[in-house]
Structure 1
Amino acid sequence: MKNTTRDNWRVIVEVMPRAREIRAAALGFANLGHDLNGRLTGEAFEMSFAPRRLGDFGWLSVSDCRPGRDVDAEYRARCEEMLAEFLRHEHVRSGRVECDETHVCSHCNFGWEELTAEEAADGSVNQDEHSVEGEPVCCEAAINEFRTERGVPLLASAGGAA
């Protein structure tokens, strides 16, 4: 069915410069502190931080994917730890953990798409009269797998009822 991969993990924090006086060094601009008159002002802004790769040990770099390792859970945990540390600072108003998700069909490797409620009600875009909301649209194998799991008749070409 649907295979999901997650990558580009990141922590996004909202910084409020005027909440209190913030020294430039607190944001990592240590060499600019004397030129910034000691304060940052302006509207809230977001900053995005990527975690170090799981397989990056500084002196050695290996693949993130090792047997028995839940890479997504480990990246999420690493990002949650980073977020907790950022939120300890007064000038960080809020934050969140994000990643990019890609969904593909396990049968054809095309991007995963499903029939919407409107499409399922519109007979002109359906495979047959048994098409329902949530049904994949990429390939016959995915449609028949979906239908088998839900007790919906298979496509006629797969030996299902017409």
Structure 2
Amino acid sequence: MKSRIVEFDEEQHFTPARMDTIKYLIEILPNNYFSKFTEICKDKIYLNNNVLKKHRIKKTIENVPKSFIEFAKWLEQSNEKSSGYICEKNGFEFLGGRIAQRAYYDCLRDTAHLSEKNKNFKSPLRFAKKTFEDIEKMDFSLIEINKIKEIIITILKKTIK
């Protein structure tokens, strides 16, 4: 019997850092959710109204950065006060380090099943909270569990081959 990582990704996972990891992952893994996640990462309105707010960033961005490096430069120039949401972390010693660290950990979970040590893992399943909210036109916390199950089944039928 095989195990599988299943994640529901909230706003803080749809950053330019995550978009950078997806660019590499799409070359080695099936595109089960990468296209949708990239679309969300490139959504300027979602970036400003949800992602940046989730990271307690007060400024808004004019254009979606093409890379995390571009985003980190913007973050530095924005004079945002460092907080636990964007602070430096071990191995990520720069403003925005926590954001890069989260993208790195997501990438590790995306590829965990490729390791010989994890041969009992299937590829992960990821669901964007935003997908459910877009379908139901309401906050995720208000969606009934049966509706969430129905949406998951629909998504899986389209993506898992």
- Report the TM-score when normalising by structure 1: 0.21
Larger radius of gyration: 1
TM-score by length of 2: 0.21
Greater relative CO (CA pairs within 8 A, separation 6+): 2
Higher helix share: 2
